């Protein structure tokens, strides 16, 4: 998450949209986690797991790279080892 936060800070003003989706935890628990880690990514809640089911999320974390037309270009299962790894994947959806 810290690497995603760094890229979010660097690129959110340049047309990149980040949405974290939490499955199965309470908003209070997520807020506590984000506050403790200094995270400010926007978070949506999938209380029933239906969004995770719809997109075939079988492990957490899973990251989708979706282009400006709403097409999923890449899917990454697991944590990113660096901001560089995220930047490489971003090339599939934006220059």
Strand-pairing partners, residue 62, are 77
> How confident is the model over 83-94, as pLDDT tens digits?
999 999 999 898
What the chain holds in terms of domains, given with CATH numbers, is 2-90 (3.40.30.10)
Cα 15 to Cα 88: distance, rounded to the nearest angstrom: 17
Handedness of CA 15, 4, 1, 86 (dihedral sign): positive
| Secondary structure E strands in the chain | 20-23, 43-46, 62-66, 72-77
Whole-model pTM? 0.86
pLDDT of 15 reads 87
pLDDT score of 95 more than 80: no
Q: What are the tens digits of pLDDT across the range 21-68?
A: 999 899 999 999 999 999 999 999 999 999 999 999 999 999 999 999
95 burial type by CB count under 10 A (0-12 exposed, 13-18 middle, 19+ buried): exposed
């Amino acid at each position: 998450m810290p690497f995603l936060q760094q890229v979010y800070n660097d690129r959110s003003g340049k047309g990149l949209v980040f949405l974290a989706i939490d499955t199965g935890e309470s908003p209070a628990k997520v807020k506590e986690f984000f506050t403790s880690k200094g995270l400010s990514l926007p978070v949506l809640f999938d209380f029933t797991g239906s969004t995770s089911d719809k997109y075939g999320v079988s492990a957490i974390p899973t990251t989708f790279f979706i282009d400006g037309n709403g097409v999923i270009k890449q899917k990454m299962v697991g944590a990113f080892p660096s901001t560089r790894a995220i930047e490489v994947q971003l090339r599939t959806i934006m220059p």
